[in-house]
Chain A
């Protein structure tokens, strides 16, 4: 187990240290959006559709308007008069701010009330009378394109069906050729059900529009404050320089807080109408029912191999449920996210995927975490298919993977779908996982238990992710490039402030980025203040999601610090009256300094240099005063973290209850900045993966009613459902990142679901079970044991 020491003063850079931000979080002194309270502030509540699909016949707001504490009641018709009834989504679709013609999912926004307090706003919702003409909903994604399916998007001109988009990747002809000559082909339908990011803090906003100055300040739960500012400007017609978006402390995001939700716009409209600040805070049910979900892919998987286990090709058709509006957050050229990395960690001859996305009468979104742009789905597909192949061939799932891994000497490796994997050593990570697990002993134990009728399963998965979007040449969102700005200022006394474009939601940026600067400048992490989440006080960038903060903004921070250090060398050279190239940078426990080469302890410290930079006396010719740097970092490539996971489960033969006994996770995310924070990310992701595999599920009944609308229905694992994590590390640096770091935020959430499912299916081998879809609740496992495994529809 890890040991924790309160070493805030050490290390002087990278290394294990407690999180600086926890000083306020553990004391209850965080400031979340709902903690923002302004003089004269009003409260907003949203009336939502009780049905999944209906035409709005009429909305009567008279009684609500008569409520003594109500200041404004707004309907879709009122917004339409101002041209604000529809807004763009992150995927180039439009979404209703308030429904005008129809409601298209249960929980859709129909009207809102602004009142003097939260209670009155909620009470007034009950006074609004909406007449609905209920229509047949499209609930089953597999029926969405049927000829007789009801049309959902009749708002789009010329739209005749529920088709959303088609997308493909890979080489269909080459893939067909390897399937034709393959000795073994295994096929399986795999459903990755709709789940929800379910952050502890729901979404919310406080909008304050100053009619005199014509300035908008918006405190909002956003993972991407700068992108939101630009989009709000483009959509609402407000000049961008008069919008300030502040994302204060955020209680978890997981992709849920990437989109702009109608509620943010409601708060802005409410403030403009009333001239007073307006707060909107979503409740738990609203968050689960109406905000951005994750996954919802039905995947047809096919894998082709030789009889001796050489994997030749992988093919998939994906049916993607995007809900009523396409609100997916993904770079513009990647409508299926980064699903293209579905060839995983294996050196194949050919691969092909086609995808059809459709609309259904369900909440929009489809972003989300913990999917790193759909890599969770991709990894699940390939890791289940490899296990199915292993079962077909009677091979051990580890040896089959080892046989087909991309070999260390093949990096950089261009996959069959065109992704350039930067670095990797897969056999080493797998070997480390086997060592920690005691894999051979586990298999022996399993054989012995099986002989007694006990159901023990061992599941293996190996994932490769593509994170850190992304290079400007390839990636943008609504035309905004995915480079990140960063600004570093070193004060005269040697402390510093770094301003970031990314926004933490619990990832520990205030510590990690301080350590990055500390490592480069030889100052204490405590002497570096991290400023983020306020568009007036930070440089431009696209925010935190898709594990991009360390790959993109982390690189920016390092390069800014190195630029400062380069300048510090010039100033030091002037102070010591030597040529800059005669100086040597050293950093030890006492700090960073430039010494004259070969003459230790004669130089100047970074603090002395900082004072000189701001102080009196001449600087070398051509050197300006101050010790600052600002850059915008455009990554050369994504980073490709990877890992080997082993899950051990016991299934009760009588009740079919799955107990996760052990979970071994060896992660390689390149250079680690703060191992404790990395482990925290991994622990959380593993818990999320176990949740998805065993219990998390946003289901719908045949009327389109959401069945996951509370945390009693949408189950999230607790400490009792997860084992003590057994984490291991290998380090394969990224060649193009300045310190060799890769993203890690989503690694565990991506890698763990197939390990759990593989383990459960392995445990059920005695029952002839070949596959069972998530969530593997006791009932669904028992049905599989009866030979009745069914997809979760």
Chain B
């Protein structure tokens, strides 16, 4: 049995309390939400925090999905399972349900949270790709108050974010625009595995039916999940078509920076970036046509 090194443990009762604890305990304190990344790393002694600040009691405060005509706001303690099961969220952002179906397994989804997934900043993590695709912004609270950063600015590198040591991610905000939809696709070696490569796509059309905007977010093919502005630029103003998806796929394959590892060769991942970009854009477009999210 793998056992962690000695730690001290505190249970936060509010966001303010959690931030106060982090401030007081210093750099060696870590927040723990679902724990499915941090605890295995602690058992392997790859992570050896001195203090754990447990924020699971904040689920009442930070576990929510609120949808208005122009915005979706999701609390950072919202669990994977809640994202998977929300019909309201699936109606406006079907990409969430696509992704949650292929994230880990039910025990992980029962505990893991949106905030934990984003803050772990694993290059292969699915919800970072989803949030990038949806042009989400992240609300970070600290001793000095709140700030909001875009997904593009949120990650600084693998396993590294702009969230400071006495700060926590509290909410993710997603703009809702008319006549759009989204989709997610992932290739893994086995159900529940990290992505070999994954792609999210979101698409909006104007009244005439041409593409008003399109966004693609790739996972596992670079140091962080990345949006690809060139795809958006190339697709705006075009009619939705297989040629458009193929063009986007070619751009995505060009833009990504995969490396060879035991999950696959760089060439294969580059191929998947293109293939999955084509597939998710096509799926998003079909959803737009079906009117599910128009």
Residues of B within 8 A of A707 (CB): 262
Instruction: Kindly specify which of B2-10, B49-57, B131-139, B223-231 makes contact with the partner chain.
Output: B2-10
Among A126, A285, A694, A716, the residue within 8 A (CB) of B44 is A285
Cα distance A721–B105 in the bound complex, in angstroms: 14
Interface of B, secondary structure class, is: loop
Give the residues in chain B near A378, CB-CB below 8 Å. Answer: none
Q: Which residue of A lies closest to B48 (CB)?
A: A126
B287 within 8 Å of A (CB atoms): no
Q: Which residues from B are CB-within-8-Å of A699? A: 262
A285 near B189 (CB under 8 angstroms)? no
Distance between Cα atoms of A528 and B245 in the complex (Å): 68
* B residues less than 8 Å from A655 (CB atoms): 187, 272, 275-276
Query: Closest CB-CB distance, A163 to chain B, in whole Å?
Result: 30
Q: Which of A1-9, A510-518, A737-745, A775-783 contacts B (4 or more CB under 8 A)?
A: A775-783
**B1 at interface by CB-CB < 8 Å:** yes
Known pairs A118-B3, A284-B2, A285-B44; A695 contacts B189 (CB<8 A): yes
CB of B262 within 8 A of CB of A657, answer no
Q: Which residues of B have CB within 8 Å of A654?
A: 275, 279
Q: Is B89 at the interface (CB under 8 A from chain A)? A: no
Among the 9-residue stretches B27-35, B144-152, B191-199, the one with 4 or more Cβ atoms under 8 Å from chain A is: B191-199
Residue from the list B3, B264, B269 in contact with A777, Cβ < 8 A: B264
- Smallest CB gap from B45: residue in A: A126
Q: Does A783 contact B265, Cβ atoms closer than 8 Å?
A: yes
A283 touching B2, Cβ below 8 Å:
yes
A123 to B196, Cβ gap below 8 A?
no
B190 contacts chain A at the CB level, 8 A cutoff: yes
1/0 contact trace for B274-294 toward A, CB 8 Å? 011001000000000000000
Contact A783 B6 (CB under 8 A): no
Residue A450 at the chain B interface, CB threshold 8 Å:
no
**In whole angstroms, how far apart are the Cα atoms of A396 and B19 in the complex?**
69
Given A122-B3, A283-B2: A779 and B265 interface contact (C-beta under 8 Å): yes
Verify A713–B264 contact, CB threshold 8 A. no
Q: Is the CB of A778 within 8 A of B187?
A: yes
State in angstroms the CA–CA spacing of A713 and B189 once bound together. Answer: 10
With A779-B264, A783-B265, A783-B268 known as contacts, the answer to whether A119 contacts B3 (CB < 8 A) is yes
* A609: min CB distance to chain B, Å: 51
Q: Can you name 28 A-B residue pairings with CB atoms under 8 Å?
A: A34-B1, A118-B1, A122-B3, A122-B5, A123-B5, A123-B6, A126-B45, A281-B1, A283-B2, A285-B2, A655-B275, A655-B276, A657-B187, A699-B262, A712-B193, A718-B190, A718-B191, A720-B190, A720-B191, A777-B263, A778-B187, A778-B264, A778-B268, A779-B196, A779-B263, A779-B264, A782-B271, A786-B267
Report the contact-size class of chain A (Cβ under 8 Å from the partner).
20 to 34
Identify which of residues 176-217 in chain B touch chain A, using a CB-to-CB cut-off of 8 Å.
187, 189-194, 196
| Bound CA span A679–B245, Å | 48
- A692-729 with Cβ < 8 A to chain B: 694-695, 697, 699, 707, 710, 712-713, 715-718, 720-721
- Nearest B residue to A202, CB-CB: B1
CA distance A695 to B263 in the complex (A): 10
- Select B190's contact among A118, A123, A717, A782, beta carbons within 8 Å: A717
For the complex, give the distance between the alpha carbons of A274 and B103 in Å.
48
Report which of A123, A713, A721, A782 forms a contact with B191, defined as CB distance below 8 A: A721
In the complex, how many angstroms separate the beta carbon of B182 from the nearest chain A beta carbon? 20
In the complex with contacts A655-B272, A712-B194, A777-B189 CB distance below 8 A: yes
Chain A, residue nearest B263 (CB): A779
> From residue B27, how far is it (CB to closest CB) to chain A in Å?
20
- Complex-state Cα separation, A782 to B276, whole angstroms: 14
Check if A283 sits within 8 Å of B191, measured CB to CB.
no
Q: How far is the CA of A715 from the CA of B262 in the complex (A)?
A: 11
- Quick one: which of A283, A778, A783 contacts B189, CB cutoff 8 A? A778
In the complex, which residues 256-282 of chain A have their Cβ closer than 8 Å to any Cβ of chain B? Answer: 281
Contacts of B5 on A, CB cut-off 8 Å?
Answer: 122-123, 126
Name, among A699, A720, A777, the residue most crowded by chain B CB atoms within 10 Å (CB to CB): A777
Within A736-793, the residues touching B (CB, 8 Å) are 777-779, 782-783, 786
> A777 to chain B: which residues have CB within 8 Å?
189, 263-264
The winner among B6, B275, B279 for most chain A CB atoms within 10 A is B275
Q: What is the CB-to-nearest-CB distance from A504 to chain B, in angstroms, rounded to a whole number?
A: 24
Query: For A779, what are the chain B residues with a Cβ–Cβ distance below 8 Å?
Result: 196, 263-265, 268-269
Question: Would B6 and A721 count as touching, CB distance under 8 A?
Answer: no
A707 CA / B268 CA spacing, docked (Å): 20
Nearest B residue to A790 via CB reads: B265
Q: How far is the CA of A273 from the CA of B44 in the complex (A)?
A: 29
Chain A, Cβ-Cβ closest to B274: A654
Interface of A is mostly: loop
Chain B interface size, as a band, is: 20 to 34
Q: A778-B268, A782-B268 are in contact. Are A695 and B190 (CB under 8 A)?
A: yes
Q: State how many angstroms separate the Cβ of B193 from the closest Cβ of chain A.
A: 6
B194 closest partner in A (C-beta)? A712
Binary B-proximity of A314-342 (CB < 8 A = 1, otherwise 0): 00000000000000000000000000000
Q: How far is the CB of B173 from chain A (nearest CB, A)?
A: 32
Measured between beta carbons, the chain B residues less than 8 angstroms from A285 are: 2, 44
A114 to B219, CA, bound (A): 45
Do B196 and A778 touch across chains, with their CB atoms under 8 A apart?
yes
- Smallest CB separation, B211 vs chain A (Å): 22
| Residues of chain B within 8 A of A786, CB atoms compared | 267
Interface residues of A in 677-695 (CB under 8 A from B): 694-695
| Alpha-carbon distance between A16 and B24 when the two chains are bound, in angstroms | 65
Enumerate B231-278 residues with CB–CB distance to A below 8 Å: 262-265, 267-269, 271-272, 275-276
A715, B1: Cβ atoms under 8 Å? Answer: no
Contacting residue for A721 out of B2, B190, B196, CB 8 A: B190
Q: For the complex, what is the distance from the CA of A657 to the CA of B195, rounded to whole Å?
A: 13
Set of chain A residues within 8 Å of B189, measured between Cβ atoms:
694-695, 715, 777-778
Q: How far is the CB of B204 from chain A (nearest CB, A)?
A: 25
Beyond the given A778-B189, A783-B268, please list 10 additional residue pairs across the A-B interface where CB-CB is below 8 A. A119-B3, A283-B2, A654-B275, A655-B276, A694-B189, A699-B262, A715-B193, A718-B190, A782-B264, A782-B268
Give the CA-CA distance A389 to B127 in the complex, in Å: 48
Closest 4 CB pairs of A and B: A779-B264, A720-B191, A779-B268, A283-B2
Residues in A whose Cβ lies below 8 Å from that of B196: 778-779
Instruction: Report B-chain residues with C-beta under 8 Å of the C-beta of A34.
Output: 1
Complex formed: what's the CA distance from A373 to B278 in Å? 48
Least distance between A661 CB and chain B CB atoms (Å): 16
Q: Are B271 and A718 in contact (CB under 8 A)?
A: no
Bound: A710/B2 CA distance, A: 12
The interface centre, meaning the residue of B187, B192, B269 with most chain A CB atoms within 10 A of its CB, is B187
Separation in Å of the A781 CB from the closest CB of chain B? 9
Closest to A118 in B: B3
> How far apart sit A699 and B193, CA to CA, in the bound complex (Å)?
17
Find chain B residues with CB under 8 A from A284 CB. 2
In the complex formed, the residue of A with least CB distance to B185 is: A655
Distance (Å) between the CB of B171 and the closest chain A CB? 30
Which chain B positions have C-beta within 8 A of A782? 264, 268, 271
A647-671: CB near B (< 8 Å → 1, else 0) gives: 0000000111100000000000000
CA distance A694 to B190 in the complex (A): 9
A14 to B168, CA, bound (A): 64
| Bound-complex Cα distance A757 to B191 (A) | 20
* Distance of A713 Cα from B268 Cα, bound (Å): 19
Hey, which chain A residues are within 8 Å of B193, CB to CB? Answer: 712, 715
The complex places the Cα of A285 from the Cα of B3 at a distance, in Å, of 12
Collect the chain B residues with CB atoms within 8 Å of residue A716's CB: 190
In the complex, per-residue mask of B59-79: 1 if CB is within 8 Å of any chain A CB, else 0: 000000000000000000000
Complex-state Cα separation, A122 to B6, whole angstroms: 11
B117 to chain A, nearest CB (A): 16
Nearest Cβ distance between residue B275 and chain A, in whole angstroms? 5
Report yes or no: B1 in contact with A283, Cβ–Cβ below 8 A: yes
Distance in angstroms from A708 CB to nearest chain B CB is 8
List the B side residues contacting A656 at CB < 8 Å.
268
Contacts of B263 in A (CB 8 A): 777, 779
